[in-house]
Chains A and B, each alone.
Chain A
Amino acid sequence: MSEGMTILFAISVMLAAVGGAAVLTWFERRLLGLWQDRYGPNRLGPAGILQVVADMLKLLTKHDWTPPFADRWVFIFAPTAIVVAMLLGFAVVPFGPGLHIIDVNIGLLFFIGMTSLAVYSVLLGGLASNNKYALLGGLRSAAQMVSYEVFMGLSLMGVVMLTGSFSMQDIVEAQRGGWFCVSQFLGLFVFVIAAIAESHRLPFDLPEAEHELTAGFHTEYSGMKFAMFMLGEYLGLILVSCMITTLFFGGWLAPFGMTWLPPIVWFSIKTFLIICFFVLLRAAIPRPRYDQLMSLGWKVMLPLTLLNLVVTGAVALWMQGA
């Protein structure tokens, strides 16, 4: 792609991601309604889709209040960090053959780096609010995200070992012989759980657990700043689903040789199904206790990841020798 085309493509990816995140707020509530045997927002427009517009208008016109006791500039900066980091993460996603914004040889590391920077949003939001609930939420999220980041990165190393590259397009190409969701089953399992914890969605939304912390780190946020946190969370969900598609489900490759649909459509279908799966998890699983979450991480997930690494390494060496 030429430079102008790349910039145009980047802008369209950004708009699609933000628009997707906005529609997802409505779609998630409808899907949750379906699975919980109720309606969800179905009044405005066809199937209730105009609810998105109504919510947006409400958030835009709401009084955007910065509490006088808050650390003003950090308070304002915090919600932007998550949106910027998550949008930057989309830069390395391969949407089709040759259809990407950048294809660097550290693509996967770039994604991990951006998700780890998104943590600051929650942390600084909690710290700057100068509110005990926000502080507790921020503290929890710091511990949760640092722990889950460790094996989120490690769980992907099996994929890197089998591919021999950090480049996202190479990873997709390496799955022509078979998707990594089979050979890297443990990696996929750990990555899905770590991804939910990283994007602090239900069931792992302990930083904002309503029943004990009011609203956690965004207790003091309202109006557009609150909307930014929500936007960042939904962008994170889309980004993580794109990553799972790319790393474990063959990215834009067509399944069973069904190449009559263009690659980008296959990519979208797979990503959409994974998003639905995340919504299903939210509908089905209750929130664990904080200490349960942490001990699950360090006592189950980390050993599983290390086991996966050792076995993958051994198999990769054996295949090389054979």
Chain B
Amino acid sequence: MELVLFYISSAVALFATVFALTRSNAAHALIYLIVSLLAVAVIFFLLGAPFAAALEIVIYAGAIMVLFVFVIMMLNLGEEGEERERQRMHPAVWIGPALLSAILLVEMIIVLSKMSDQQTGALITAKQVGISLFGPYVLAVEIASMLLLAGLVGAYHVGRRFRLSEPDDQSAVVSGDDKQGGD
């Protein structure tokens, strides 16, 4: 039963990812990517890691991808963007990366076929994740938090308002984005 569910969700994840890569409409590609993340969450759940599955949904599918959709809405590329993307996705562009990743795929199949059946089947609870995060892996957590802090400071720098001339001149107050002219 679990094996069947595993293969179904893996197939969903694979197809969704392939579609996410090949769609020329950015919004459709993102929906496929979200489906792929949900399928991966199901796989995590089947492997006995419900906490990782929940975080996959809450953080990846529920927060990070929302920001991606947000950016796409802001840019609002429309038909011409789709056309440009279609030109860019010319089959010739695919050959190089596809060949290189095919090598990796062969390697992975060899490695996996040599590995014995290592499915532990043990359930990993939220408590265990927490204990190992703030126990043996506390350094990694700290490094990640520093990275996030750096990102926050960067975002603050980009988004802050600064004055060009006299403080009483209303029109001189522009956001950092306007001054740099964006992309």
Contacts and interface: CB of A to CB of B under 8 A. Distances in A.
13 contacts: A71-B27, A74-B31, A105-B125, A106-B126, A109-B55, A109-B58, A116-B61, A119-B66, A120-B69, A127-B69, A138-B73, A139-B74, A143-B70
A208 interface: no
A142 B54 contact: no
Nearest to A110: B54
Given A113-B58, A116-B57, 11 more contacts: A74-B31, A105-B50, A109-B54, A109-B55, A117-B62, A123-B70, A123-B73, A138-B73, A142-B73, A149-B63, A153-B58
B54 A113 contact: yes
B67 interface: yes
Given A120-B34, A139-B73, A105 B126 contact: yes
A300 interface: no
Among the interface residues B62, B69, B76, B126, which one has the most CB atoms of the partner chain A within 10 A?
B62
CB-based closest 3 A-B pairs: A116-B62, A109-B54, A113-B57
Interface residues of A, number: 30
A119 B27 contact: no
Interface of A: 71, 74, 77, 104-106, 109-110, 112-113, 116-117, 119-120, 123-124, 126-128, 130, 135, 138-139, 142-143, 145-146, 149, 153, 166
B84 interface: no
Interface in B71-125: 72-74, 76, 78, 125
B73 A112 contact: no
Nearest to A126: B73
Contacts of B54: 106, 109-110, 112-113
